[in-house]
A and B are shown apart, each in its own frame.
Chain A
Amino acid sequence: MYALDDVDLEVFSGEFLTLLGPSGSGKTTLLMAIAGFNRPDSGSIRFGDTEMILTPPHKRDVGMVFQSYALFPHMTVAENIGFPLKLRKVNSAETAERVTEALATVQLTGLGDRKIDQLSGGQRQRVALARAFVFRPRILLMDEPLSALDKKLREQMQIELKQLHRQLGVTTVYVTHDQREALTMSDRIAIINHGKLAQVDTPQAIYNRPSNSFVADFIGESTILPLTLDTQERLLFEEQLVLDHLPEAFSKDNSRDWSLVVRPERISLNADSQRSENDCLVFRGEVKEFVYQGETALALVKVGKDYDISVRLGTNAASSQTMMKPGDEVNLSLSRDDVIVIPQEKTP
């Protein structure tokens, strides 16, 4: 059993890549391996063409923001930010200039003389950030840097970090377990589970085309329905045709079961009429539960032989007229463009 096993990941210059996974999945281990704080038993870590795996942390030129920020409490804000510059023998005039500049970048102008314990949580976060990029590292690593902040501040910082990344253009690897944060900020997301890469792709692709059930389940809300494969390699759900061919990447592979992933917000509700089956999948079912949640409402609809599909509905004035109660009979439709089919290991 390895904390990380067979991980092959390429980070492109200048991109914002997020390592996303449940706790204990190995994402922080991977980040620490890049920074040099833990050593893989074997493998290779290259910056460009340079092999770095035997290089000690202080020679890797990697900026790092820890979850706890790890600011030095016995130094001022400016001393903290100037620390990496001092180690690089930058002269004091230039150090002062670059510290001031970094402070301005993170919107802390004028706070250089403060002690760390005089700062708020959000300010500490910014100092940690400034300290990590002020020496223009080759890569910036962040380990759940926003997890200690409250929700409002966290959302604000997500946008700020995104802007900062655009402004600095530094290659960034970001660790989080918060999928919304990952979707908001990343150029690409690498989803890690049990020490293995589950999928690496852009946020849109991850959400719209998850490549396995773990990703489909982990990102966003979804209902996963089992499909059957007929003799002509067509996939059916309760005798309704879902896909007339196997997804190309897996067409030769018969060792798998197939599932249909339904995103609750992609389903629409047709309380009465029946639409054509050419452009839609149609389910008929009975409302089991209906809850109002403010910006949306969630319905749990029982279809076929006891499958529960979640359906998200808008709550604007028009939709409100279609408020349902448990026991109502409804028709659901899913556009063929929104059909997501994923393979699964065959259940014995």
Chain B
Amino acid sequence: MSWLNRPASDTQVTHGGRLWLYLVAAIVMILLVVPTLIVIPMSFSDSQYLEFPPSNWSLRWYHEYLESSKWMRATLTSIKVGILTMCIATPLGTMAAYALFVSGHRAARPVFLLLITPMIVPVILIAIGTFYAYGRVGLNNTIPGLVLAHTALATPLVMIVITSALRTYDLNQERVARSLGANPVYAFFVITLPQIKFSVMTAALLSFLTSFDEVIIAIFISGGVNATITKHMFSALRDFIDPTIAAISTILVLISTLLLLVTQYIGSREK
């Protein structure tokens, strides 16, 4: 174990001296990952009860899920709302981020702060607020209502991702394009957008996931035929534990893992 005596830093701390740190970090990482992934083996159990490790393996709960019209409809609703949210929030957030970043106007800062209020206001408040307001205009239990609310949540995230991308981008490129004869719109689409496209894609995925995983607002304003998958999951968790949730959770974990890997790949491409 000569490795332990080797210096781990330039200030002569050995790996041995840092062993406690490695140990703590490893435990914390295990505690972070295991509870996230444990639903996967559980979903293949044959039992009514939640048990680990499962005594008998089966695809029973996947069948249950796929054959339930309630779950299927909810899944479809969630996907629909997620995609619509992504399609609206991404251009909205990108436009706002670009405008506020480029403009030196003194209104830019207050507007920016206003636009990120959805990140500051507790979600429960947004949930009951929209629930009340939607009640007045008849948007409760509708897809447009959900999409609008989720767009409000996702837009600030998009803005922050795009703003930080613009920070590392040399805005002189757009200037040079204009001096070479490009109008502002052309300069944005041909010069700026191709160079921040990976961030735009990350922002799009993030806004899809924000909508798809959103629980609290959905509990209040979605329902009936337009209830989301998260709403059903929440009531299932609170009232009785149905192992179908393990199967659904596994699917959700796979989706987020996939999206995460895509963004990581995008991030490495960006560099």
Q: A: which residues have CB within 8 A of B?
A: 35-37, 56-64, 66, 68, 70-74, 83-84, 87-88, 131-132, 135, 141
Contacts and interface: CB of A to CB of B under 8 A. Distances in A.
Interface in B165-181: 170, 172-173, 175-181
A87 B176 contact: no
A135 B191 contact: no
B14 interface: no
A132 B195 CA distance: 21
A83 B177 CA distance: 8
B152 to A, nearest CB: 33
B176 A58 contact: no
B182 A58 contact: yes
B179 A63 contact: yes
B183 interface: yes
Given A58-B181, A83-B180, A87-B181, A74 B175 contact: no
B144 to A, nearest CB: 37
Contacts of B186: 87
A97 B25 CA distance: 61
A65 to B, nearest CB: 8
B170 A68 contact: yes
Interface string B182-206: 1110110001001100000000000
B175 A70 contact: yes
B170 A58 contact: no
Contacts of B178: 36-37, 56-58
17 contacts: A36-B178, A37-B175, A57-B175, A57-B178, A58-B180, A58-B181, A58-B187, A62-B179, A66-B176, A70-B170, A70-B172, A72-B173, A72-B191, A83-B177, A84-B181, A132-B179, A132-B180
B102 to A, nearest CB: 12
A83 B179 CA distance: 11
A74 B179 contact: no
A135 B179 CA distance: 11
Interface of B is mostly: helix
B271 to A, nearest CB: 12
B173 A58 contact: no
B73 to A, nearest CB: 43
B195 to A, nearest CB: 6
Contacts of A135: 180-181
A68 B180 contact: no
Contacts of B179: 35-37, 57-58, 60, 62-64, 132, 141
B172 to A, nearest CB: 4
Nearest to A57: B178
Contacts of B172: 66, 68, 70
Among A57, A64, A66, A74, find the residue whose CB has the most chain B CB atoms closer than 10 A.
A57
B182 A70 contact: no
A133 to B, nearest CB: 11
A74 B194 contact: yes
Among A35, A62, A72, find the residue whose CB has the most chain B CB atoms closer than 10 A.
A72
A87 B180 contact: yes
A84 B180 contact: yes
Nearest to B174: A70
A131 B172 CA distance: 14
Contacts of A74: 194-195
A135 B170 CA distance: 23
A72 B190 CA distance: 10
Contacts of B180: 58, 63-64, 83-84, 87, 131-132, 135
B183 A58 contact: yes
Given A37-B175, A66-B172, A73 B181 contact: no
B181 A88 contact: yes
Contacts of B187: 58
Among A56, A59, A70, find the residue whose CB has the most chain B CB atoms closer than 10 A.
A70
Nearest to B180: A84
What are the 9 closest A-B residue pairs judged by CB atoms, nearest first? Answer: A84-B180, A70-B172, A87-B181, A64-B179, A57-B178, A70-B176, A70-B173, A58-B178, A66-B172
Contacts of B173: 70-72
A308 B11 CA distance: 50
A339 B226 CA distance: 92
Interface in B134-186: 170, 172-173, 175-184, 186
